[in-house]
Amino acid sequence: MKVIALSGDARNANWAMNRAVMARFHNTFRNTPLIGPSINLFWPDFRERLNSLRNDIGRAFVSNDFGCAPFPVAMYSFATIDYFSSHWMGLIDPANQSSNSNRNQTQRMADFLKQYLEYPPFESQLAINLYRHKLMHTAEPRSLKEKDGSKSYDWLLADRSSKHWTIENRGDAPHLFHCGLWNLLDDLERAVFSPSGYFKDLTKDSNLQGNWKRFHTEMDSYSFEYKL
């Protein structure tokens, strides 16, 4: 396996530079139309996110005395899908969505994967339940059953997989969902930066630009309440 990673110093310098650029962008363009050259300031924010994920995947599959560490980077991968789909849709917090919205977090992420990665919706919703919901909240992916009990699913998480994003029928045993994190990252890179990708759409679609602004406004407004 080829490990692709930035050194700590280079990564920190890159991070600091990009955050400074985006801070200026937020202050300058928060209340103005996003047109012309200003659109290009989306690029470093998106590029930083995917570079960071690439760095972490490279580290996760370098075995040591304790073995590999795929779970944290799987959570980061699916959080990154959440991040891009939230830019695309405009909102992430259900409290900020209209009551008649039929796009919850799972559907929003699966819609983005279908639109830009051409991933099938069933496999995407299964993956999101495994690696965005169960892994996040129970510390590891869990075997899942369909609501009617007709089928059950186990998971296989790899660095790369020739069966990526497919379900293997194993007869009487639970079906097996395959996910390769390098495969996912490569596809996500193309989904964001290809000539037909999300970034290109963002540069020319005023509705998507408005969604971008709404998502960043929401991220700047988070709060918490301390309770005794």
Please check whether residue 197 is in contact with residue 191, taking contact to mean a CB–CB distance below 8 angstroms.
yes
pLDDT of the chain along its 228 residues, tens only? Answer: 333 333 344 444 444 444 444 444 444 444 444 444 456 667 888 999 999 999 999 999 887 777 889 999 999 999 999 999 999 999 766 555 554 454 589 999 999 999 999 999 999 999 999 999 999 999 999 999 999 988 999 999 999 999 999 999 999 999 999 999 999 999 999 999 999 999 999 989 999 999 998 888 888 888 889 998
Length of the chain: 228
Which pTM does this prediction carry?
0.80
Cα–Cα distance between 220 and 211 in angstroms, integer? 14
Residues β-bridged to residue 167: 177
Please check whether residue 142 is in contact with residue 130, taking contact to mean a CB–CB distance below 8 angstroms.
yes
Q: Residue 192: how many CB atoms within 10 A of its CB? A: 23
